[in-house]
Structure 1
Amino acid sequence: MGGAVQAEEGVDPRLATVVVTGNKASEAEQARAELDKVAGSVRVIDNKEVERGRAQNAEDVLAYQPGVFAQATSGTGANKISIRGSGLNTFYQGYVMGIKFLYDGMPISGPGGTQEDMLNMAAVDYTEVLYGANAFAHTALSLGGAINFVTHTGYTSPGARVRLDVGSFGYRKQELSYGGVSGDSDYFVAVLHNERDGFQDDTPNRGKDFIANFGHAFSPKLDTRLIVRYREEKLLNGSTLTKEQIEHDPTHNRLLSDRRKNGTTLISSKTTYTFDDDSKLEVGLGYNNYPLHNGWRYAATAQDWHSTDLNTVIRYLRTGDRLFGLPSDTTLTFSDTRLIDGDVTGYRQSDWVKVRHTDYTGSRDTVFALGNELQLDDQYWLSTGLSLINIDRTARIQYSITPNTSTFPDNVSYNDWHVAPRIGLRYQLSPEVQLFGNVSRSIDPPVTWQHGSTANPYLRPLDPQKGTTVEFGVRGSAGIFDGSLAIYRSWITDELLTVVISPATPTSDAVTANANASDTIHQGIEAGLDTRLWESSRGDSIVLRQAYTFNDFYYRNDDEFGDNELPSLPRHYYQAELQYRHSQGFYAGISVRSASSYYVDYANTLKAPSYTIWGAKVGYDDPGERWSVYLDARNLTDENYVTAANTAYDLKGVDSPNFYAGDGFGVYAGVSYRFE
């Protein structure tokens, strides 16, 4: 109130009490404030915003995030996800490369890759997107950085809640959760079931999840949390088509491709001990088991995968120190992801004869990271970091029905150390505006199966992908505007690229090859802007939300392809939503998503077509936070478009079945209710 509190006559003014009330910041808002301390691009996505429409897959969750390309294929959890061109063409029914994925700070990405069925983001409170080396805190050294999904707790989702969703193409989703707090403990449990008949013919998918999150504070200094995730999934994927087929009959399914997971299990715990001298120790342990039966009904060669990871993360954080007489915070982290049991066995579908068995057990990624945040003065902060990564890869073909007559080996084993430094600077231009810049090194190890699985009787030696990235940007708010802008350039050596030599047919599996490329460049612009176009005195508003990404990825004087563009991602990608919100909970809006054309082969002879699709949404959120309802219409003009594509070597301009069809016009509706 701008001055001293006047005490009543005869009352000691030291006893006067002023009570200040206000809304406590949500967990997502607190995470956003913490990530604003990173000298680089970061984003926080509140799942409450996502659930104001269809929340089916990563395409829905990661929408409107500049620099992030996330597109679903077959309308399932299979999504092509790329940040700054990470793993831009390492694509197999949604398998994601070049990004480290985590749940609650514990990795689900390991030496064998990422279990993509867990990318349905079930029971997530908010999502952190950390671009490139800005994911240093999670010891993520990949070009794309990290995406961390944070599970609901008894504090963020109290009471019983039920949510039901239905929609086009047989979409159905049911969710039941219950959370609460009891003394020094909190708990949250959820069960989910999802179904979809599919846009393309014969593409049903079914899945069910169980999530449990338990926390307990033993004392003000010691607390722990245990999280369990379990998912079963069975689906038929939509096949790739030619451009002509997508234009005239996008629901056609050229061939059947199936995948089944009988129970992916993630168990993680995190214990924190806080010392008296402004320091704390975090110890995280994780167990990830993700079996996969690929092609168990229709493929020429059925594949039986087994993968079990053990994860260890130990982090020591110290704040309030002085370095060179300046305020200093230091973090020391050790992380280890170890494939304790991993293999793949191929069976000939016609008679179930074993054709090949490859073992990957023992592969691991171990990182030691030291980071420091030094406050130079009231406006400048210097961030420095140094990571050491030890990459151990073991791949052995232990059985093959056909002999290896190639020049490639049937055994690959190596143990390499790499150094990845980082330096960044933040400048607080004003209380609302921050400038940042950084230089960093990225290291992307090949995942085990990139060396080879069941297609060939040999393995391909591969080197880790290395890159140096420079980034500059600004984030903040001014008047009616709130947004961010980042410009980056990455010099990459040994980029891990995949080529589809021949697409799958009804009688043969797809033939692909992985290799290290010659030198490449990844550079681009990431811009996000929210504009309050109108706001009434009672809180009604009209907001325009925009996200634009410019991708410029190309070879540097390649012997065969010169300076050709790298295929598989649109050069320009734009998303926008114009939404009206009433102070009492009603909202309505229209949206647009537009992508430019892009090449699908390294020789730059054939392009995926550009597209623009429109959407509309209307809904209501009870101000008392008891219930909500939405209606979400997608692809209003029923556009036939390509949502993602394979990458080929040289198509010589000839149309080929390398394109995934996007969903046609669809309407989705949902309702949720929370019981007291």
Structure 2
Amino acid sequence: MAQATAEIQRIPGGVEVVPDTQFKDGPANTIKDILGWVPGVLIQTRWGPDGRISIRGSGLSRSFGNRGINPYMDGIPINTADGLFDLFEIDPTAYRYVEVFKGANALRYGSNSLGGAINFVMPTGRDASPFEARFDAGSFGYLKTQTSSGGAYGPADYFITASAQREDKHSRTDTERLNANFGYQFSPDAETRFYVNAGRWRAEIPGEVTKTAALSNPRAANPDFLIQDQQRNIDTVRLANKTTLRFDNTTVDFGIFGLDRHVDHPIFQYLDFTAKDYGGFVRATDDRLIGGFRNRLITGVNLQNGTIDINQYINLPGAVKGPLASSNLWKSENTSIYGDNSFFVLPNVALVAGGLFMHAVRDQRDRFLTDGDQSGRRTWDNISPRVGLLWDVDPAWQVFGNISRSAEVPTFDVNTFATPASSNVDIQTATTYEIGTRGRRPDVTWDVSLYRARAFSDHVAS
């Protein structure tokens, strides 16, 4: 983790590394147990392990799902291709440390969203215990069990962890997760790693109530939600591979990933859909002397495509599928090319410049035409530049600043193609100005960022 901390602090902006010692000694129930004390990260739990998260104003309008932040696992994207992600998939007991890139400071992974990025880093068999287990219990029928195992055998290693979690009574959820990786070292400079992530989530949705009702009877559910027996039931399998090659001054990471998710979701209507995502990435980090000056360049390409095959039915009392009300096939295509260069004009002063080009497509094919054809297709292209400065005042004190531009493509629930207005939603962009300092002394540690972000074409759909 020391290497990860040293690398992330080469970024002239708000960043944080959270070691597992800060969250595994507690309940480790939700992502709030990991990030709840990280400055600038706002998290509100809902029911069970689900919740909402916002960094620097991202996704403030969301009442379901999360957007405006790019989540990664070991540098591999784990959001869906249209930009949404769910917090319940994150098992706090499965990670060795977590990297937080606030705002437009996640260019090293090709992310330039308003909220930044979060990278969850799993243990490997080379740094994991042979066997660990834990058991948690609490109020309202809360139970969680977790076991893990890791080990290395010559060039091969493995790590696997499984957990089961449930909450009973007035807000019932049931969650099982499996996270594993298997690595092979061809040489000290070449290795590959395979990842398996699977999850099962069952939740009964209590719904929204008035403030008066919440204060007088906080365990009460919305009566309409009870009649419709509103639920959210999700099964997910994700497979990925990442290969790392190290040369004299250059490290290259490349990989592929795929996702299969089925959602059975009786709410105001009965939603039944399957999401399939796939993609790949290549990223190179080059650190060398140019004309006697140190220069560090990170550059890469990301591809992420996916489909969501969604049918909506009338939700009859008791969560029973009624007549078909809507049927669509949603397709997402995303390509980004990025670079981030740090040129050290002095041994302790780096000028940072970079940018990202993004090409995105959202396509909707309407298969239920009794209410009119709501098919549509939108294409967006965007360039997001970034400049900054990083000054190492001394080995334990940094001063930094940057001006960055971020961009976010609308999700399908925003760009619905149902009306001319909702068929012409633009990219949400923002320009952020940031200055700050971080450091440590024998009796104090600090990390302070001051920023101002101005957003345009804000996506306010809930």
TM-score of Structure 1 vs Structure 2, range by shorter chain = over 0.9
Counterpart Cα distance in 2 of 1:281 and 1:131: 24
* 1:344 alignment partner in structure 2: 310
Q: In structure 2, the residue corresponding to 1:170 is in which secondary structure?
A: coil
* 2:70 alignment partner in structure 1: 100
Q: In structure 1, the residue corresponding to 2:128 is in which secondary structure?
A: coil
Q: 1:369-408 maps to which residues of 2 (within 5 A)?
A: 369-401=338-370, 403-404=371-372
- The counterpart of 2:446, out of the listed 483, 502, 505, is 483
Question: Post-superposition shift, 1:478?
Answer: 2.5
Q: 1:385-464 maps to which residues of 2 (within 5 A)?
A: 385-401=354-370, 403-404=371-372, 410-452=374-416, 460-464=423-427
> Is the contact between residue 195 and residue 205 of structure 1 (CA under 8 Å) also seen in structure 2?
yes
> Is the contact between residue 413 and residue 461 of structure 2 (CA under 8 Å) also seen in structure 1?
no
Counterpart Cα distance in 2 of 1:154 and 1:259: 34
Counterpart Cα distance in 2 of 1:495 and 1:170: 40
Change (3 A) 1:445 1:121: farther
* 1:84 alignment partner in structure 2: 56
Question: Post-superposition shift, 1:432?
Answer: 1.5
Counterpart Cα distance in 2 of 1:305 and 1:344: 4
> Is the contact between residue 410 and residue 458 of structure 1 (CA under 8 Å) also seen in structure 2?
no
> Is the contact between residue 50 and residue 86 of structure 2 (CA under 8 Å) also seen in structure 1?
no
Q: Do structure 1's residue 149 and structure 2's residue 116 form an aligned pair? A: no
Change (3 A) 1:174 1:443: same
Letter in 2 for 1:240: E
Counterpart Cα distance in 1 of 2:21 and 2:294: 36
* 1:264 alignment partner in structure 2: 236
Change (3 A) 1:140 1:184: same
Counterpart Cα distance in 2 of 1:463 and 1:428: 39
Change (3 A) 1:85 1:458: closer
Counterpart Cα distance in 1 of 2:272 and 2:60: 26
* 1:232 alignment partner in structure 2: 200
* 2:296 alignment partner in structure 1: 329
Change (3 A) 1:235 1:293: same
* 2:25 alignment partner in structure 1: 52
* 2:148 alignment partner in structure 1: 177
Letter in 2 for 1:289: D
Q: 1:290-309 maps to which residues of 2 (within 5 A)?
A: 290-295=261-266, 299-309=267-277
What CA deviation, in whole Å up to 9, does each residue of 1:162-197 have, x standing for no partner? 111111111100111110111112111112111111
Change (3 A) 1:156 1:457: farther
Counterpart Cα distance in 1 of 2:240 and 2:158: 15
Counterpart Cα distance in 2 of 1:109 and 1:59: 18
* 1:136 alignment partner in structure 2: 107
Q: In structure 2, the residue corresponding to 1:252 is in which secondary structure?
A: coil
With normalisation by structure 1, the TM-score equals 0.65
* 1:537 alignment partner in structure 2: none
Q: In structure 2, the residue corresponding to 1:332 is in which secondary structure?
A: strand
Counterpart Cα distance in 1 of 2:295 and 2:422: 48
Question: Post-superposition shift, 1:352?
Answer: 2.1
Letter in 2 for 1:347: Y
Question: Post-superposition shift, 1:47?
Answer: 1.6
Q: In structure 2, the residue corresponding to 1:280 is in which secondary structure?
A: strand
- The counterpart of 1:217, out of the listed 175, 180, 185, is 185
Question: Post-superposition shift, 1:474?
Answer: 0.5
Counterpart Cα distance in 2 of 1:151 and 1:465: 32
Counterpart Cα distance in 2 of 1:346 and 1:187: 41
> Is the contact between residue 260 and residue 277 of structure 2 (CA under 8 Å) also seen in structure 1?
yes
Question: Post-superposition shift, 1:391?
Answer: 1.1
Counterpart Cα distance in 1 of 2:36 and 2:189: 39
Letter in 2 for 1:232: R
Question: Post-superposition shift, 1:71?
Answer: 1.1
> Is the contact between residue 73 and residue 238 of structure 1 (CA under 8 Å) also seen in structure 2?
no
Equivalent pairs counted in the alignment come to: 452
Counterpart Cα distance in 2 of 1:436 and 1:41: 9
What CA deviation, in whole Å up to 9, does each residue of 1:347-376 have, x standing for no partner? 112362111101112x11111012211111
> Is the contact between residue 110 and residue 365 of structure 1 (CA under 8 Å) also seen in structure 2?
no
Letter in 2 for 1:84: R
Counterpart Cα distance in 2 of 1:458 and 1:208: 41
Letter in 2 for 1:332: T
Letter in 1 for 2:439: G
Letter in 2 for 1:429: V
Q: Do structure 1's residue 313 and structure 2's residue 281 form an aligned pair? A: yes
Q: In structure 1, the residue corresponding to 2:220 is in which secondary structure?
A: coil
Q: 1:21-60 maps to which residues of 2 (within 5 A)?
A: 27=1, 29-60=2-33
Change (3 A) 1:168 1:456: farther
Question: Post-superposition shift, 1:124?
Answer: 1.1
Counterpart Cα distance in 1 of 2:350 and 2:207: 50
Counterpart Cα distance in 2 of 1:103 and 1:77: 18
- Unpaired runs of 5+ residues, structure 2, are none
* 1:285 alignment partner in structure 2: 256
Counterpart Cα distance in 2 of 1:125 and 1:52: 13
What CA deviation, in whole Å up to 9, does each residue of 1:209-231 have, x standing for no partner? 12211111111221111110100
Letter in 2 for 1:89: S
> Is the contact between residue 124 and residue 150 of structure 1 (CA under 8 Å) also seen in structure 2?
yes
With normalisation by structure 2, the TM-score equals 0.94
Task: Give percent identity, aligned residues only.
Answer: 27
* 1:274 alignment partner in structure 2: 246
Question: Post-superposition shift, 1:400?
Answer: 4.3
Q: 1:540-559 maps to which residues of 2 (within 5 A)?
A: none
Letter in 2 for 1:163: R
Change (3 A) 1:325 1:412: farther
Counterpart Cα distance in 2 of 1:319 and 1:433: 22
Question: Post-superposition shift, 1:108?
Answer: 1.1
Counterpart Cα distance in 1 of 2:10 and 2:268: 52
Counterpart Cα distance in 1 of 2:251 and 2:154: 23
* 2:168 alignment partner in structure 1: 197
> Is the contact between residue 23 and residue 92 of structure 2 (CA under 8 Å) also seen in structure 1?
no
* 2:436 alignment partner in structure 1: 473
Q: 1:498-647 maps to which residues of 2 (within 5 A)?
A: 498=461
C-alpha RMSD of matched pairs (Å): 1.9
Q: In structure 2, the residue corresponding to 1:344 is in which secondary structure?
A: strand
- Structure 1 or 2, whichever has the larger Rg, is 1
> Is the contact between residue 438 and residue 470 of structure 1 (CA under 8 Å) also seen in structure 2?
yes
Letter in 2 for 1:353: P
Counterpart Cα distance in 1 of 2:407 and 2:92: 26
Question: Post-superposition shift, 1:458?
Answer: 10
* 1:365 alignment partner in structure 2: 334
Counterpart Cα distance in 2 of 1:121 and 1:321: 40
* 2:39 alignment partner in structure 1: 66
> Is the contact between residue 24 and residue 92 of structure 2 (CA under 8 Å) also seen in structure 1?
no
What CA deviation, in whole Å up to 9, does each residue of 1:402-460 have, x standing for no partner? x24xxxx712212221101111101112222110000011001112233239x999964
Q: In structure 2, the residue corresponding to 1:117 is in which secondary structure?
A: helix
